[in-house]
Amino acid sequence: MTMVLSTPTADGVREAVAALRQWQHDEAPMQLHPGDICWNYRLGTAGTAAAVRTWSRDGRIVAVGLLDSPTVVRMTVAPDAFRDEDLARRLVEDLSLPERGVLPDGKVSIEAPQGLLLHDLLTVEGWGFDEPWTPLIRDLTDPVEDPGVRIETIGLEQARDFADVLSSAFNTARPTSAYRHAMAAAPFSTDARCLSAYDDQGSPVAVVTVWSAGPGKPGLVEPMGVHADHRGRGHGRAITVAGAAALRELGSSSVRVCTPSSNAGGVATYAAAGFVARPEIADRIRKS
């Protein structure tokens, strides 16, 4: 059986997202979600395609990776291939050898779901563990409570509000109104909801983008942020609750998010919004 590693075209990215949709289910560990790739479209179609890697066997995609940066790949595999030895060994080779075009020499990280045979082989190869992250999940079977603040969908006319809140929340000038325009033009925009919370003075205080993987499947929070001038007032909880409600309307069975365990405030915010923490996970890291 022939295994092929590819950097897809734009059409190939659609195929990768379609595969990821199929692989999502509530009992799965935290893993790469269609929304992770879709959020990347804020940087453009060509840039998104260049950041995706697929592994196919006899024409079927069996693993998908997303380069979050040149030294970090986030990936998952088909549910029936979690313990597939041929796939795991091929992944170790492709992720370890710079000439394969995935990760460079030096310090690099791999985010992969727990339970993969890949982890066992990486341990044998001397890969260690990076800082812990906390996955959090909220079931959406029951109706979601009112968030308690004014919530609006962020259209193109509110693109500046979206960018300003994210820039403040993450202390970076990188988000711009062009992000929202690029997301609206992306092929997967109907899977997303961008929401903003407003205070009594009408100022945008928090934003969230949530992504559906389809009815009956877990949705994703990516990203959520509160303006630095409005922290400590429950706006993070409110906008996260609103995002959960939006996903339930889209048919999602649950909503999940993963945040660094060191981000105690973030973990507490999601817990206040009804999310339940799961056991910590960690990326695999090669230090040199």
Rg (C-alpha) for the chain, rounded Å, is: 19
- Would you list the domain boundaries of the chain? 3-133, 138-279
**What is the CB-side half-sphere exposure of residue 184 using CA atoms within 13 A?**
14
Whether residue 74 contacts residue 66, with contact meaning beta carbons closer than 8 Å, is answered with: yes
Average of per-residue pLDDT across 152-173: 90
Give residue 172's pLDDT. Answer: 86
74 phi and psi angles, rounded to 5 deg: -105, 130
Residue 154 CA to residue 276 CA, distance in Å, equals: 27
Whether 159 shows a pLDDT value over 80: the answer reads yes
pLDDT in tens, 194-248: 999 999 999 999 999 999 999 999 999 999 999 999 999 999 999 999 999 999 9
Residue 32 CA to residue 213 CA, distance in Å, equals: 11
Q: pLDDT band at residue 288, thresholds of 50, 70 and 90?
A: confident
Give residue 181's pLDDT. Answer: 86
Residue 266 CA to residue 262 CA, distance in Å, equals: 9
Q: For the domain bounded by 138-279, which CATH number is listed? A: 3.40.630.30
pLDDT in tens, 109-119: 999 999 999 99
In order of 104, 105, 239, 256, 282, the CA distances from 265 in angstroms are 33, 34, 15, 17, 19
Hunting for tokens 């405030």 — which residue is that? 265
Residue from 214, 195, 216 nearest 206 by CA = 195
Buried-exposed string 263-285: b where 16+ CB fall within 10 A, e elsewhere: eeebbebbeebbbeeeeebebbb
Instruction: Label the pairing between strands 108-111 and 72-77.
Output: parallel
Residue 41 CA to residue 29 CA, distance in Å, equals: 25
pLDDT in tens, 56-108: 999 999 999 999 999 999 999 999 999 999 999 999 999 999 999 999 999 99
pLDDT in tens, 174-206: 777 888 888 888 888 899 999 999 999 999 999
Q: pLDDT band at residue 43, thresholds of 50, 70 and 90?
A: confident
Give residue 180's pLDDT. Answer: 86
Give residue 177's pLDDT. Answer: 85
Neighbours of 14 (CB within 10 A): 15
CATH number assigned to the domain with residue range 3-133, chosen from the 4 options 3.40.630.30, 3.30.750.24, 3.40.50.2020, 3.90.1300.10? 3.40.630.30
Give residue 182's pLDDT. Answer: 87
Angle between helical axes of 177-185 and 159-169 (0-180°, round to 10): 120
Mean residue pLDDT of the chain comes to 95
Whether 14 shows a pLDDT value over 80: the answer reads yes
Residue 236 CA to residue 132 CA, distance in Å, equals: 22
Average of per-residue pLDDT across 132-155: 96
124 Cβ contact partners less than 8 Å away, ≥ 6 residues apart: none
First and final C-alpha spacing in the chain: 33
Buried-exposed string 22-49: b where 16+ CB fall within 10 A, e elsewhere: ebbeeebebbbbbbbbbbbbbeebeebb
**What is the CB-side half-sphere exposure of residue 232 using CA atoms within 13 A?**
2
Pairwise pLDDT comparison (284 vs 175), residue with the higher score: 284
118 phi and psi angles, rounded to 5 deg: -50, -40
175 phi and psi angles, rounded to 5 deg: -65, 135
Helix, strand, or coil (residue 26)? coil
Give residue 139's pLDDT. Answer: 98
